[in-house]
Amino acid sequence: MLPLIGGVLGYFFQSGKSYRLPALFIGAGLIQALRLLTIDPEVIRWSWVPGIELGIYIDHLSAVLVSLVYFISLLVHIFSMHYMCGDPGLGRYWFKLGFFTTSMLGLLISDHLLLLFVFWEMVGFSSYLLIGFWFKETEKATSARTAFMVNRVADAGLIIGIIVLITMFGQAYISELNPIENTGWLTFAGIALAIGAFGKSAQFPFFGWLNKAMAGPTPVSALIHAATMVTAGIYLLVRVYPVLTPVALYLVAITGALTAFIAAVAALFQNDIKAVLAYSTISQLGYMIMGVGVGAYESSIFHLWTHAFFKAGLFLAAGNVIHFMHKANHDVDGQDMRNMGGLKKYLPFTFLTYLICGSALAGLPLTSGFLSKEGILGASLDAPVLIVPALAFVSALLTPFYITRQILLVFTGEVRKGLHVTNETFNEPWKPVKMPFALLALGSIWIFSSFNPFNAHGWYLGEYVFGPEEPVQSPYGIIVLMSSIVLVAMGIGYAYTQFKPGARKALEYKNLVEATGAIRFFLSGWAIDRVYAFFNQGTLIVSNFAALVDRKVVDRLVDGAGLMGIILGKGTGLFDRYVVDGIVNGLAGLSRMVGRTLAKIQAPGIQTQLAFMLFIMVLMIYWYLF
Amino acid sequence: MMAIPLIYYLLLSAFIFCVGLAIILIKKNGVFVLLGIELILNAANLNLVAFSKFDPTLDGQVFAVFSVVLAAAEAAIALAILLNIYKQYRSTNLDELNQLKN
Amino acid sequence: MTLNILFFAFAAMIVVPLIYLLITKNIIRAAFAFAISLLGMAAIYVLLNAEFMAVVQILIYAGGIVVLLIFGVMLTKRSGDEGVFTAHHQVIPGVLVSLAFFVLLTQSIFDVNLAWGEEVTSTDQVKQIGVLYLTDHLIAFELIAFLLLMALVGAAFLAKKSDQ
């Protein structure tokens, strides 16, 4: 509850120094959460209506994740002081942030599945509020709505799964879930629950919303993408793991691997600094989901933990870059990487953070990301079908490629767009704000996760969360280790040759920005580039395709169609546009119908309202009496 | 003298109450709704008096008289308000009163 | 036995006008039906040995409130068009909800199994009530008197303001 109180206070005392209040409350909550770490698993129940008991359940997993959420939330609060400074809706912002954090914490500690669902919805709703924070811009409001609606579709899956679990199997408490006989209904429930988790964790086919969620303030993106909302799906899957049937797990693993691959491909072609991060998040979430699917949920939680650190670091750093771009040059789009370049000079500290966190994302040895990712990769080899490890390893190659590309494009080379750096104070955020960066970057180094930089099962907290595990000696251990290092090295090396300062592609990237209308020139420039085509025909085709989609989107924006196009890889753009939007539209129609019916409660007058009220009252009395 | 069971009074009172409720829900006219409220109050009074028959202290009747007085006060005020509303909207139809301020 | 017959007669005197009240759309007729059922209730009070209540009922309800209601109807009558008639809406849900509530009430009445003691038949109830008012319930009595006064002044004020 503390974040909410802090948020409310922050809302009411917007002036002066009071913006520190919410952060203070989060800090207090963090201390509380650390205290939680020391206690034994605990179940608290209270009766709600006769026959149904709600409860909260805190075990080591919850305690660790609660601390994590508090920690990231605290850092985001601190960073927001810098990033959101001077925004007129600041009080509102604190309130929403507090609301969101509170819902997320509730989600992590609730025991009854229905309670979990309630918090699940609250998380969805508060994220809608946060994404649509700048609701005056129609595009952003639309993005928030789309994100919300896509989530709702998946939530339908979740509630169906919960209902089946409760009514058919009588398993309503997370702490009491146990394996039961494998029936068709159980598979159905498992798949439904998995769909719910896919929605929250932005998995195929629901990943479209995460990119749109980028419309929110950047610290919010850090909070949503790093520690909280998207990991709710993983958390749910880990929790319901005992009741997932092999078929459901199979589906989960395939979806995870597929998402990891699709999103990694999509991330290769993004121009928006936040969009790259968004797709990389989706890709990493795909890893986690896949990990659960192949039974390595420990590695998934481990990856969740490390991912929270380096992704929050990346987002905050990106936020800093955007902040800087906005201040330095008002005329250009501050999120477009085509306008950036050479920022190392101006933002050395941010660059350092970005570099460390980015290498963790890439899975470079000696970083936390390497450890956790390797655990998942190793486990993926146990998957029933070959496609899962295949996609996983390909994604592991693509990940270092796109993050290296991004770092090189943003921070190195020449400044592509004239920056008016008038005041040196713009360059780096003030001191207290550096703290989150430093903490997150440090958290991305191996030593804070596991003493041995090459032992994927050496997570400090692993034993604490899941109890002592028998040492699993994977037959592929050393092969996985070597191959992932090789893959990372290949990805980074290739990206570096392509995008190093002064390289042809880096220069062409600049061309693109000077005249967006001159994409034709850009394309023809590529066509001449026989050498490049010779080396990598495949990439050229995909790139051309992406460029085409890009042009389409640009044209559409010019035409004022106002559609937020997503530049996805092969086919995913089409899929997203037709299938996801179709579902969204269909759902919108359905909800409009339901809404019209229910609106009668509100609309005609006091007597109708009274009738409904009495009706509910009579029902409740019946419920209580009989 | 054969006593009438208390339950008869209670049933009668329940019936009056529910008719009052139905009138409040169904009728559009404000005066009618007021009438429904009076009926509900009456049902309560009937219960009070019926119970007080089995209570030597007569508190039930005392309370019932209070509630009658309250009903009278309420009716007077409500009708005055209705008059004002009529002045404002030229109607006493509750559905048409959808503004707090015009 | 006679008592039973009397009770049912008076109950009918309440129930029949109430049903008419529910059906009719004419407010004036409704007000008179209401008056009849109020008289029936007064008779029931007499059966309950509560003569004072019966008198109060007739004086205040039948004499006061019904007249007030009729005045209200007359004053808010829309000249010309539908007059003293009112419309119904949401008849089915309204009746259904009320019926459900009625079923609920009867069910609970039967379920409660009220254990009541001896009937008390006192003779000089009016005197007893008077004594009670001025002793045990003195503060409440004064308060309710004050409230009534305020209500009437307030009503007069509201009505007067509407004239201007």
Q: Which of C7, C37, C120 sits opposite B56 (nearest CB)?
A: C120
Residues of C with CB under 8 A from a CB of A: 89-90, 93-94, 97, 100-101, 104, 107-108, 111
Residue A314 CA: distances (Å) to CA of A276, A367, A412, A429, A553: 11, 14, 17, 15, 27
Q: Which of B9, B61, B73 sits opposite C148 (nearest CB)?
A: B73
Tell me whether B97 touches chain C (CB under 8 Å): no
Cβ-count burial of B84 within 10 angstroms (0-12 exposed, 13-18 middle, 19+ buried)? middle
**Domain with C62 in it:** 1-79
Tell me whether A528 touches chain C (CB under 8 Å): no
C-facing residues of A in 596-615 (CB < 8 A) are 607-608, 611, 614-615
Is the pLDDT reported for residue A252 higher than 60? yes
pLDDT digits (tens, 9 = 90+) for A331-363: 555 666 666 666 666 677 777 777 777 777 777
> Of the candidates C21, C48, C79, which is a domain's last residue?
C79
Cross-strand pairs, A459: A450
The angle, 0 to 180 degrees and rounded to 10, between the axes of the packed helices A519-528 and A537-558 is 170
Residues 6+ apart with CB under 8 A from A618: C97, C100, C101, C104
Specify the pLDDT at position B46. Answer: 92
Query: Rounded to 10 degrees, what is the CA torsion of A301, A304, A305, A309?
Result: 170
CA-based nearest residue in chain C for residue A617: C101
CA-based nearest residue in chain A for residue C112: A625
The stretch B13-31 carries a mean pLDDT of 88
Instruction: Give the residue, C115 or B46, on which the prediction is more confident.
Output: B46
Specify the pLDDT at position B13. Answer: 92
**Contact criterion met (CB < 8 Å) for C93 and A625:** no
Chains that touch C (3 or more CB pairs under 8 A): A, B
Tell me whether A620 touches chain C (CB under 8 Å): no
**Sign of the CA dihedral A290, A296, A300, A306?**
negative
C-alpha span between A393 and A387 (Å, rounded) = 10
Report yes or no on C5 lying in a domain.
yes
**Contact criterion met (CB < 8 Å) for A607 and B24:** yes
> Of the candidates C79, C105, C136, which is a domain's last residue?
C79
C-alpha span between A371 and A490 (Å, rounded) = 18
Is the pLDDT reported for residue A550 higher than 70? no
Count CB-CB contacts under 10 A for residue A74: 24
Specify the pLDDT at position A167. Answer: 75
Tell me whether A590 touches chain B (CB under 8 Å): no
Report yes or no on C74 lying in a domain.
yes
Specify the pLDDT at position A556. Answer: 47
B39 vs C contacts (CB less than 8 Å) = 18, 34
Q: Do C72 and C141 reside in the same domain of the chain? A: no
Strand, helix or coil for residue A173 = strand
Residue A490 CA: distances (Å) to CA of A267, A307, A310, A356, A448: 17, 22, 21, 18, 26
The stretch A543-571 carries a mean pLDDT of 45
Residue A506 identity (one-letter amino acid):
A
**Contact criterion met (CB < 8 Å) for C93 and A622:** no
The stretch B32-48 carries a mean pLDDT of 91
Question: For an interface test with C, which of A600, A613, A618 has the most C Cβ atoms less than 10 Å from its Cβ?
Answer: A618
Is the pLDDT reported for residue B23 higher than 80? yes
Specify the pLDDT at position C120. Answer: 66
Question: For an interface test with C, which of A601, A607, A613, A614 has the most C Cβ atoms less than 10 Å from its Cβ?
Answer: A614
Residue A558 CA: distances (Å) to CA of A62, A140, A513, A567, B73: 48, 17, 16, 16, 69
Looking at chain A, the whole-number percentage of residues with pLDDT higher than 70 is 45
Looking at chain A, the whole-number percentage of residues with pLDDT higher than 90 is 0
Which segments of chain C have a pLDDT < 70? Answer: 77-84, 115-123, 161-164
Report yes or no on C104 lying in a domain.
no
| Mean of the per-residue pLDDT values of chain A | 66
Min mean pLDDT across A121-135, A197-211, A473-487 is at A473-487
Specify the pLDDT at position A517. Answer: 37
A615 vs C contacts (CB less than 8 Å) = 93, 97, 100
pLDDT digits (tens, 9 = 90+) for A466-516: 544 444 445 555 666 666 667 666 666 666 666 555 555 555 554 444 334
Question: For an interface test with A, which of B98, B99, B100 has the most A Cβ atoms less than 10 Å from its Cβ?
Answer: B98
Interface contacts A/C by beta carbons within 8 Å? 22
Report yes or no on C103 lying in a domain.
no
Contact B61, B42 (CB under 8 A): no
Specify the pLDDT at position B43. Answer: 93
Distance from CA of B73 to the nearest CA of C (A): 5
**Contact criterion met (CB < 8 Å) for B25 and A605:** no
**Sign of the CA dihedral A395, A357, A203, A114?**
positive
> Of the candidates C13, C45, C79, which is a domain's last residue?
C79
Q: What ranges in C66-164 are assigned the alpha helix state H?
A: 66-75, 91-112, 125-134, 138-163
Specify the pLDDT at position A461. Answer: 55
Report yes or no on C99 lying in a domain.
no
A610 vs B contacts (CB less than 8 Å) = 24-25
Farthest-apart Cα atoms in chain C, separation: 60
Specify the pLDDT at position B4. Answer: 76
B26 vs A contacts (CB less than 8 Å) = 607
Options 3.30.70.340, 3.40.50.970, 1.10.287.3510, 1.10.3720.10; CATH for B28-92 is 1.10.287.3510
CA-based nearest residue in chain B for residue A602: B98
C-facing residues of B in 21-40 (CB < 8 A) are 21-23, 25-32, 34-35, 38-39
CATH code, domain with C31? 1.20.120.1200
Specify the pLDDT at position A231. Answer: 77
Residue C77 identity (one-letter amino acid):
K
Q: Do C66 and C127 reside in the same domain of the chain? A: no
CA-based nearest residue in chain C for residue A623: C104
Residue A483 identity (one-letter amino acid):
S
The stretch A604-621 carries a mean pLDDT of 77
Q: Do C136 and C69 reside in the same domain of the chain? A: no
C-alpha span between A129 and A224 (Å, rounded) = 12
CA-based nearest residue in chain B for residue A605: B95
Q: Do C128 and C73 reside in the same domain of the chain? A: no
In a 13 Å sphere around the CA of B90, the CA atoms on its Cβ side amount to: 5
C-alpha span between A451 and A448 (Å, rounded) = 7
* Host H or E run for residue C13: helix C2-23
Specify the pLDDT at position A197. Answer: 78
Structure tokens at A172: 């309503």
Residues 6+ apart with CB under 8 A from C160: none
Give the highest mean pLDDT range of A142-151, A275-284, B21-30: B21-30
Contact A202, A285 (CB under 8 A): yes
Distance from CA of A604 to the nearest CA of B (A): 7
pLDDT digits (tens, 9 = 90+) for A59-100: 777 777 777 777 777 777 777 776 666 666 666 777 777 777
Q: Which of A611, A618, A625 sits opposite C94 (nearest CB)?
A: A611
Specify the pLDDT at position A526. Answer: 32
Distance from CA of C134 to the nearest CA of B (A): 11
Instruction: Give the residue, A139 or A567, on which the prediction is more confident.
Output: A139
Say how many domains are in chain C.
2
Report yes or no on C4 lying in a domain.
yes
The stretch A48-56 carries a mean pLDDT of 61
Question: For an interface test with A, which of B95, B96, B99, B100 has the most A Cβ atoms less than 10 Å from its Cβ?
Answer: B95
C-facing residues of B in 46-85 (CB < 8 A) are 46, 49-50, 52-56, 58-59, 61-62, 64-66, 68-77, 79-84
C79 vs B contacts (CB less than 8 Å) = none
